């Protein structure tokens, strides 16, 4: 049996709030909270009222539901209505909280660890940093398996740092004040500065990205009023001290790495974030390994885009495609036995934390 097709609503939806004594509660909701009466009955002994305000429609009615809790933007305080409804005034735009770092050496291998889950817009998320380093960082291996149009909407993130790197496939993306939609392909990298509006329009089957965010827990907010692309083009616009970056791998040359016999492809992340972060891809050229000096940053993350190698950190750790690792500050590490096709994505905060 097919589900009925919902028809457009003819009247606003109402949230039912129990209220067994209407008069004092009505005076409170109208006089104290600023709601207005839309419906009230019966006339000779009012017991039910519908109110509107603060983007809500409430129905105060005896004997059903519970008093509930309302959150209203304003100077933080708590009020209790005569009917028991709890009113929490909250900051409409609370400051971003970045938890203290809980440093940890970590390896997350493909096929191990927490199961992948379905996240926003139907994307499949694989957690690359279980435990989130105390809540300071999140790293996700994200896939869109079927491809086609993506059920996304214009949105933005309240975040300190967020980047996405395309591992395979392609997607069509659009960003606020950055021109028309563009193709985001394997090897490309995007910096999503704080609060920049954006949207994923469509993708190829098997599209995969690695996404890094700080802090791990951050808000995604919809912007239903903005249409993308925007009419303005501001490639150098400042978003919270950062500017939008679309690094195109096909247009970027490989250059010598600090480790002999290795090379790197820089993304320009350090300049776009004003030194907050750096992102690059490294690969062997003539050597199959290197020893790295300890870094002095808060975050050093690696992800094997392809190939294999052995991570040396207090012993050998064989790694393969889609394996990830985190190296804490002050700890030496290195790679040995790199395959010819090895490519490693490196993300570090701040830029310059690694000495090579």
Which pLDDT belongs to residue 305? 98
Q: What is the mean pLDDT of the chain?
A: 93
Would you say residue 339 has pLDDT above 90?
A: yes
- Six token digits for residue 195: 């609060």
Distance of alpha carbon 27 from alpha carbon 83, whole angstroms: 11
Would you say residue 21 has pLDDT above 50?
A: yes
- Six token digits for residue 121: 């817009």
User: What count of Cα atoms within 13 Å lies in the side-chain half-sphere of residue 258?
Assistant: 10
Would you say residue 122 has pLDDT above 80?
A: no
pLDDT in tens, 306-333: 999 999 999 999 999 999 999 999 999 9
pLDDT in tens, 161-188: 999 999 999 999 999 999 999 999 999 9
- Six token digits for residue 296: 């002095």
pLDDT in tens, 204-234: 999 999 999 999 999 999 999 999 999 999 9
DSSP collapsed to 3 states, 246-294: EECHHHCCCEECCCCCEEEEECCHHHHCCCCCEEEEEEECCCCCEEECC
Distance of alpha carbon 136 from alpha carbon 133, whole angstroms: 6
Does domain 251-349 fall into CATH 2.60.120.10?
Answer: yes
Would you say residue 5 has pLDDT above 90?
A: no
What residue segments make up the domains of the chain, in order of their start? Answer: 15-90, 110-244, 251-349
Which pLDDT belongs to residue 2? 45
- Give the lowest-confidence range in 86-95, 235-244, 266-275: 86-95
Cβ–Cβ contacts within 10 Å for residue 159, how many? 21
Which pLDDT belongs to residue 3? 47
Q: What is the CATH number of domain 110-244?
A: 2.60.120.10
353-356 own/partner pairs: CB under 8 Å, 24+ apart: 353/278, 353/295, 353/296, 353/297, 353/298, 353/299, 353/300, 353/329, 354/292, 354/293, 354/295, 354/297, 354/300, 355/258, 355/293, 355/295, 356/257, 356/258, 356/259, 356/290, 356/292, 356/293
**Fold of the domain spanning 15-90:** 2,3-Dihydroxybiphenyl 1,2-Dioxygenase; domain 1 (3.10.180)
Cβ–Cβ contacts within 10 Å for residue 75, how many? 7
- Same fold: 15-90 with 110-244: no
Which pLDDT belongs to residue 8? 57
CB distance 258 to 278 below 8 Å: no
Would you say residue 6 has pLDDT above 70?
A: no
DSSP collapsed to 3 states, 179-197: CCCEEEECCCEEECCCCCC
Rounded to the nearest 5 degrees, what angle is found at the Cα of 283, between the Cα atoms of 328 and 161? 45
């Amino acid at each position: 049996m097919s589900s009925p097709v919902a028809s457009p609503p003819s009247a606003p939806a109402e949230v039912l709030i129990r209220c067994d004594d209407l008069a004092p509660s009505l005076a409170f909701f109208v006089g104290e909270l600023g709601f207005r009466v839309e419906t009230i009955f019966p006339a000779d002994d009012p017991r039910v009222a519908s109110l509107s305000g603060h983007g809500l429609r409430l129905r105060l009615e005896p004997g059903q539901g519970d008093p509930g809790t309302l959150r209203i933007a304003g100077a933080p305080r708590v009020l209790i209505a005569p009917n028991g409804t709890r009113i929490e005034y909250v900051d409409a735009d609370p400051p971003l909280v970045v938890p203290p770092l809980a440093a940890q050496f970590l390896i997350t291998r493909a096929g191990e660890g927490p199961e992948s889950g379905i996240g926003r817009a139907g994307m499949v998320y694989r957690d690359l940093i279980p435990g989130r380093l105390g809540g300071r960082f999140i790293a996700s291996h994200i896939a869109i398996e079927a491809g086609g149009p993506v059920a996304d909407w214009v949105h933005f993130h309240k975040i300190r740092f967020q980047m996405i790197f395309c591992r395979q496939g392609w997607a069509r993306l659009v960003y606020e004040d950055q021109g028309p939609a563009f193709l985001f392909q394997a090897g490309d990298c995007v910096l999503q500065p704080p609060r920049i509006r954006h949207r994923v329009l469509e993708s190829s089957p098997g599209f995969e990205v690695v996404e890094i965010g700080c802090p791990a827990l951050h808000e995604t907010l919809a912007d239903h009023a903005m249409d993308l692309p925007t009419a303005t083009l501001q490639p150098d616009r400042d978003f919270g001290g950062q500017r939008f970056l679309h690094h195109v791998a096909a247009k970027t040359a490989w250059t010598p790495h600090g480790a002999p016999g290795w090379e790197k492809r820089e993304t320009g992340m350090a300049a776009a974030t004003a030194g907050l972060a750096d992102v690059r891809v490294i690969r062997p050229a003539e050597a199959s390994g290197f020893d790295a000096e300890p870094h002095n940053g808060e975050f050093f993350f690696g992800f094997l885009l392809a190939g294999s190698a052995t991570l040396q950190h207090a012993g050998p750790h064989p790694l393969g495609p889609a394996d990830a690792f985190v190296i804490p500050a002050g700890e030496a590490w290195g790679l040995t036995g790199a395959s010819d096709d090895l490519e490693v994505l490196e993300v570090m905060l701040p830029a310059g934390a690694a000495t090579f």
